[in-house]
């Protein structure tokens, strides 16, 4: 009788493995076994293959087909736990005579029983996992196979060598006996996975690409089925990516366990070691021979669980770790840590094992954890660094060392969550005062307390260090920074020591980077700065970048550049440092830099950018108490909003209760100035005067009365003019002019503009023209627009000139988003104003400025200077926009400027005169 075993794609996944048998010869071999059995030629067949390739499911389908054809089926399933039970496997097949004890007699009884059975028709004996069969049963099975060779009885078994290259002698004798047919099942190929997916997607479903599914499963049928089940269970039938869930994890654990105990130990060892695993280390951890460890890696790789010494998916590693009993997990981690330490592995690799062990019993654990924390911090992984230090703190018995670790932990928490650092640093105060924390850590804590405006606590800490440690470089650095950033607090130190401000070029290589920056900032604020100081600041920024800690070197360095009116340099460094902060994932650094960038943007006249950056900084600390960074952000937001005319926003910021401690800092000084500008803009000159005068008193008291810090005299001059105190206002403006630094462009230009307010009308145009030129050159666009606006009013008698200047001022103010200034200049945009003609070629030829331009370029330049857009210029000159752009490009190149905002005042006035 001939029976065909049809292996085709089933309608459900119950016989999933059947259609995964890809090779046609396997199908033919199975058909041949059934056909030979029915024809009276008994067959012994061994179906081999690694776990989960479908051997058991294939036997089930073979069982059903043979039974349907009329054969009598006997099934046995062997187990590792019953391997030591004599005749355990045979007892599943036949009823044994319990009175017999001799192996030969039982074998003969088995043969007689089988001979009687085949008289009624073909017999098929199926044994699953024969590698776990007991020796006695295998002896009888071999006896039966030899005696029934030419009868309608066949024996089909499955086996898997696992990690044992050489099977047990009894198993080897059976599977490698003569006349045994051997069939080997392999996982799906990549093409087979593709065909499977094509069949699955016939119903419109998806599960990623065949390459992705093959990469994750290596063709393992059990894992493929699990991934399909996860997709269905997680409700992602149309997903294009592979979904990994609990079914996949269970399949991984099942595959590992089915390979055997050695495979379990190898898999667990790789899961524990992670990317530090190598074969030698793995063999010691799993307590197996090196060859066994290597073979385990190969087997698990073939099953689609590993890819070399790594798991194919993180979920695979996670489920193997979860499968380790709790007690064994700790012991395995502890052993791994010891082995890694003995091998000289990186501290972070050892620490990763230690954090999973409780308690730690290794004497060397503490220094390793601290070193690992330092390495993690250097790699910008603050979370791991904190984890290591917490464990180091818990396993440390020495109180002084434990306190040092607490300082490091608190500092890392500050870098991660600056708004919640105040209370953490405050807990360190008591051990500092008790002498249980070193000088460096104490000063770091003091710096953080100052940043959080905990002035009294910071004074106690610094006073204690001053009294006990004496003067040294670190203390001098702290005091210099205090005298510059927190000058009001420094003045209250019980034991005062006046800082030595830098009076000339700093000697290269003298002192630490922190000390050099502290001296440089002090030099800037005491007006003893020179170009060598600026070079030193930028060199330190280049070398140090964003250093750790509440102050570091970046903050005072950037302040030094800002107060020295090096705004372009400060802005460029802010951009570079912000990139570094984003790469590190350092919220504290981003917060500090956003505050400084908003300050720089305001001084450059980028009002909208200043407001946006200040708002972004405040959003990073919603609902938090005041600190220095919050102070700088609010100051910038108030000033930018005031200049844009958003007085409600400024008033809302100023309504927030302010701690008195803020006014002992530079941030408090800026706050007073910002509030004064708001009062002045909203019609409260007396209140504004009070704030500006308060600024002056503090700056004189702190010995840092420089216009580039806070131009309080300029604000006071405007306020005094508003209340009719012209003589006093004139005195302040004249004094500011005498103090002005000719090389500090922004401050000098602002001083000239204010001086024009108190001078006679005929003197004002020249002062304002010069102010505009200086401010334009320094890049202070908003202040330049103010100077130009004042100039248009100063020459109001000459309407043509005034109209040109006013239109130019309006356009600059518009670019700065200074809407209120725009309205004051031209409430109704004069779009229809007659264009001023360019001077004739011969007229321009006598002018050095126009002599550089052609006739057509002069016409374009005049209209651009009036503030007309490129399209408007084209319409008036009957040329295309592209032609206008080309003319402007040549004009900028000839006049050595970058944009139309920098068109010289002389050009506009000459054009107006020719009109």
The pairing of beta strand 153-159 with beta strand 44-48: parallel
Tell whether 240 and 355 lie within a shared domain: yes
Among 159-173, 801-815, 832-846, which range has the highest average pLDDT? 801-815
User: Has residue 658 been placed in a domain?
Assistant: no
pLDDT at 219 exceeding the cut of 70: yes
In this prediction, residue 415 has a pLDDT band, given cuts at 50, 70 and 90, of confident
Tell me the average pLDDT across 265-271: 93
pLDDT at 176 exceeding the cut of 50: yes
Do the Cβ atoms of 522 and 536 come closer than 8 Å?
no
The pairing of beta strand 123-128 with beta strand 153-159: parallel
Tell whether 180 and 195 lie within a shared domain: no
Q: What percent of the chain has pLDDT over 90?
A: 32
Lowest-confidence region among 42-51, 339-348, 753-762, 829-838: 829-838
Tell me the average pLDDT across 693-719: 93
Lowest-confidence region among 74-78, 615-619, 710-714, 825-829: 825-829
pTM > 0.85: no
pLDDT for residue 166: 63
Contacts 24+ apart (CB under 8 A), 200-204: 200/228, 204/237, 204/238
Lowest-confidence region among 426-430, 512-516, 544-548, 735-739: 544-548
Separation between Cα atoms, residue 183 and residue 123, nearest integer Å: 20
User: Has residue 625 been placed in a domain?
Assistant: no
Q: For residue 855, count CB atoms less than 10 angstroms from its CB and return exposed for 0-12, middle for 13-18, buried for 19 or more.
A: middle
What are the backbone dihedrals phi and psi of residue 298, each rounded to the nearest 5 degrees, phi first? -65, -45
pLDDT for residue 607: 94
- Collapsed DSSP state (helix, strand, coil) of residue 339: helix
Tell whether 201 and 255 lie within a shared domain: yes
- Give the end of a domain, one of 365, 392, 419: 392
Contacts 24+ apart (CB under 8 A), 380-385: 380/583, 380/584, 380/585, 380/586, 382/412, 382/415, 382/416, 382/585, 382/586, 383/416, 384/348, 385/412
Tell whether 480 and 363 lie within a shared domain: no
Tell whether 253 and 118 lie within a shared domain: no
Tell whether 467 and 560 lie within a shared domain: no
In this prediction, residue 714 has a pLDDT band, given cuts at 50, 70 and 90, of very high
Tell me the average pLDDT across 306-321: 91
Look up the domain containing 366 and give its range.
Answer: 191-392
The CATH number for 83's domain is 3.40.50.300
- Give the end of a domain, one of 186, 220, 247: 186
The vertex-198 CA angle with 194 and 201, nearest 5°, equals 135
pLDDT for residue 873: 85
User: Has residue 777 been placed in a domain?
Assistant: no
Tell me the average pLDDT across 501-514: 53
Which carries the bigger pLDDT value, residue 10 or residue 899? 899
Tell whether 483 and 546 lie within a shared domain: no
The CATH number for 866's domain is 1.10.10.10
Which carries the bigger pLDDT value, residue 532 or residue 14? 532
Tell whether 228 and 274 lie within a shared domain: yes
In this prediction, residue 716 has a pLDDT band, given cuts at 50, 70 and 90, of very high
pLDDT for residue 698: 95
Tell me the average pLDDT across 84-88: 88
pLDDT at 643 exceeding the cut of 80: yes
pLDDT at 831 exceeding the cut of 80: no
pLDDT for residue 272: 93
Tell whether 247 and 367 lie within a shared domain: yes
Tell whether 261 and 319 lie within a shared domain: yes
User: Has residue 161 been placed in a domain?
Assistant: yes
- The pLDDT tens digits for 187-204 are 888 887 877 777 665 544
Count the Cβ atoms, other than its own, within 10 Å of residue 6. 10
User: Has residue 631 been placed in a domain?
Assistant: no
Separation between Cα atoms, residue 900 and residue 808, nearest integer Å: 10
Tell whether 138 and 227 lie within a shared domain: no
pLDDT for residue 373: 92
Tell me the average pLDDT across 599-612: 93
221, 222, 190, 225: which is closest to 207 by C-alpha? 225
Mean per-residue pLDDT of the chain? 82
Tell me the average pLDDT across 874-887: 83
- Collapsed DSSP state (helix, strand, coil) of residue 47: strand
Do the Cβ atoms of 528 and 503 come closer than 8 Å?
yes
User: Has residue 603 been placed in a domain?
Assistant: no
369-384 as b/e, with b when 16 or more CB fall inside 10 Å? bbbbbbbbbeeebbeb
| Cβ neighbours for 197, distance < 8 A, ≥ 6 positions apart | 207, 209, 210, 213
Count the Cβ atoms, other than its own, within 10 Å of residue 388. 31
| Cβ neighbours for 849, distance < 8 A, ≥ 6 positions apart | 895, 904, 906, 907, 910
Q: What percent of the chain has pLDDT over 70?
A: 86
Among 130-139, 224-233, 903-912, which range has the highest average pLDDT? 130-139
Tell whether 221 and 317 lie within a shared domain: yes
Tell me the average pLDDT across 236-244: 65
pLDDT at 906 exceeding the cut of 80: no
Separation between Cα atoms, residue 349 and residue 276, nearest integer Å: 7
pLDDT at 443 exceeding the cut of 80: yes
User: Has residue 117 been placed in a domain?
Assistant: yes
When divided into structural domains, the chain yields a total of: 5
Separation between Cα atoms, residue 886 and residue 893, nearest integer Å: 11
- Give the end of a domain, one of 166, 186, 206: 186
Separation between Cα atoms, residue 454 and residue 868, nearest integer Å: 54
Separation between Cα atoms, residue 252 and residue 300, nearest integer Å: 10
pLDDT for residue 200: 63
- 425: its two tokens: 């640093």
Separation between Cα atoms, residue 661 and residue 448, nearest integer Å: 14
User: Has residue 405 been placed in a domain?
Assistant: yes
């Amino acid at each position: 009788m001939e029976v065909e075993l049809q292996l085709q794609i089933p309608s459900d996944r119950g016989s999933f493995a059947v259609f995964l048998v890809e090779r046609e010869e396997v199908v033919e071999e199975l058909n041949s076994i059934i056909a030979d059995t029915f024809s009276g030629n008994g067959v012994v067949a061994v179906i081999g293959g690694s776990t989960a390739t479908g051997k058991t499911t294939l036997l089930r389908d073979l069982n059903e087909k043979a039974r349907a054809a009329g054969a009598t089926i006997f099934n046995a399933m062997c187990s590792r736990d019953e391997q030591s039970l004599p005749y355990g496997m045979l007892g599943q097949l036949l009823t044994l005579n319990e009175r017999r004890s001799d192996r030969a007699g039982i074998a003969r009884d088995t043969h007689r029983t089988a001979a009687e059975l085949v008289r009624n028709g073909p017999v098929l004996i199926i044994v699953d996992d024969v590698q776990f069969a007991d020796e006695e049963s295998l002896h009888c099975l071999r006896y039966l196979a030899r005696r029934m060779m030419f009868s309608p009885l066949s024996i089909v078994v499955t086996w898997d060598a696992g990690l044992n290259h050489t099977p047990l002698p009894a198993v080897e004798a059976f599977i490698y006996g003569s006349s045994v047919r051997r069939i080997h099942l392999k996982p799906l190929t990549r093409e087979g996975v593709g065909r499977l997916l094509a069949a699955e997607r016939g119903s419109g479903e998806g599960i990623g690409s065949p390459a992705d599914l093959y990469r994750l499963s290596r063709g393992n049928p059990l894992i493929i089925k699990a991934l399909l089940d996860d997709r269905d269970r997680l409700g992602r039938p149309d997903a294009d990516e592979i979904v990994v869930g609990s079914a996949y994890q269970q399949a991984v654990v099942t595959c590992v366990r089915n390979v055997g105990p050695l495979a379990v130990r190898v898999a667990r060892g790789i899961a524990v070691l992670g990317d530090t695993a190598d074969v030698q280390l793995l063999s010691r951890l799993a307590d197996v021979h090196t060859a066994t460890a290597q073979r385990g890696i190969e087997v698990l790789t073939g099953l689609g669980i590993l890819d070399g010494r790594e798991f194919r998916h993180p979920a695979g590693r996670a489920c193997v770790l979860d499968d380790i009993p709790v007690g064994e997990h700790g012991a395995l981690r502890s052993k791994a840590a010891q082995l890694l330490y003995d091998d000289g592995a990186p501290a972070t690799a050892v620490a990763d094992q230690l954090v999973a062990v409780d308690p730690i019993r290794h004497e060397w654990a503490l220094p390793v954890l601290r070193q690992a924390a330092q390495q993690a911090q250097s790699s910008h992984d603050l979370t791991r660094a904190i984890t290591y230090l917490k464990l180091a703190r818990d396993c440390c018995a020495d109180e002084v060392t434990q306190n040092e670790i607490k300082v490091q932990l608190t500092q890392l928490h500050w870098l991660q969550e600056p708004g919640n650092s105040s209370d953490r640093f405050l807990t360190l105060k008591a051990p500092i005062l008790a002498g249980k924390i070193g000088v460096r850590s104490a000063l770091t804590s003091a710096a953080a307390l100052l940043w959080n405006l905990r002035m009294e606590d910071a004074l106690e800490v610094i006073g204690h260090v001053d009294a006990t440690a004496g003067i040294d470089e670190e203390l001098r650095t702290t005091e210099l920074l205090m005298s510059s950033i927190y000058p009001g607090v420094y003045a209250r130190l019980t034991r005062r020591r006046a800082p030595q401000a830098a009076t000339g070029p700093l000697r290269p290589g003298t002192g630490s980077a922190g000390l050099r920056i502290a001296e440089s900032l002090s030099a800037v604020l005491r007006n003893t700065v020179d170009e060598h100081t600026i070079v030193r600041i930028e060199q330190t920024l280049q070398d140090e970048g964003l250093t750790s800690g509440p102050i570091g070197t970046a903050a005072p360095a950037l302040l030094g550049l800002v107060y020295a009116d090096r705004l372009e340099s400060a802005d460029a460094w802010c951009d570079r440092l912000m990139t570094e902060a984003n790469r590190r994932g350092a919220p504290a650094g981003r917060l500090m830099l956003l505050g400084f960038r908003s300050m720089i943007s305001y001084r450059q006249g980028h009002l909208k950018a200043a407001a946006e950056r200040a708002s972004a900084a405040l959003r990073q600390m919603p609902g938090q108490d005041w600190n220095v960074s919050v102070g700088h952000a609010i100051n910038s937001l108030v000033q930018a909003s005031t200049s844009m005319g958003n007085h409600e926003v400024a008033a809302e910021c100023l309504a927030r209760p302010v701690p008195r401690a803020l006014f002992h800092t530079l941030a408090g000084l800026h706050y007073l100035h910002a509030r004064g500008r708001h009062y002045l803009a909203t019609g409260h000159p007396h209140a504004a005067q009070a704030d500006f005068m308060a600024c002056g008193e503090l700056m004189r008291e702190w010995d840092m009365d420089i216009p580039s810090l806070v131009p309080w005299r300029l604000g006071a001059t405007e306020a005094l003019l508003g209340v009719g105190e012209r003589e006093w206002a004139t005195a302040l403006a004249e004094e500011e002019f005498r103090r002005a630094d000719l090389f500090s462009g922004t401050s000098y230009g602002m001083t000239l503009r204010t001086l024009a307010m108190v001078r006679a009308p005929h003197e004002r145009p020249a002062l304002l023209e010069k102010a505009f030129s200086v401010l334009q050159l320094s890049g202070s666009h908003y202040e330049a627009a103010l100077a130009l606006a004042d100039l248009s009013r100063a020459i109001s008698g000459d309407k043509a000139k005034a109209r040109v200047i006013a239109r130019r001022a309006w356009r600059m103010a518009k670019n700065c988003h200074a809407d209120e200034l725009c309205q004051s200049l031209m409430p109704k945009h004069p779009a229809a104003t007659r264009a001023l003609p360019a001077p004739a070629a011969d007229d321009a030829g006598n002018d050095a400025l126009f002599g550089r331009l052609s006739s057509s370029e002069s016409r374009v330049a005049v209209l651009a200077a009036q503030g007309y857009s490129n399209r408007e210029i084209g319409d008036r000159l009957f040329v295309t926009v592209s032609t206008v752009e080309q003319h402007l490009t040549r004009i900028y190149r000839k006049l050595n400027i970058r944009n139309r905002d920098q068109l010289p005042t002389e050009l506009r006035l000459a054009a107006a005169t020719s009109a």
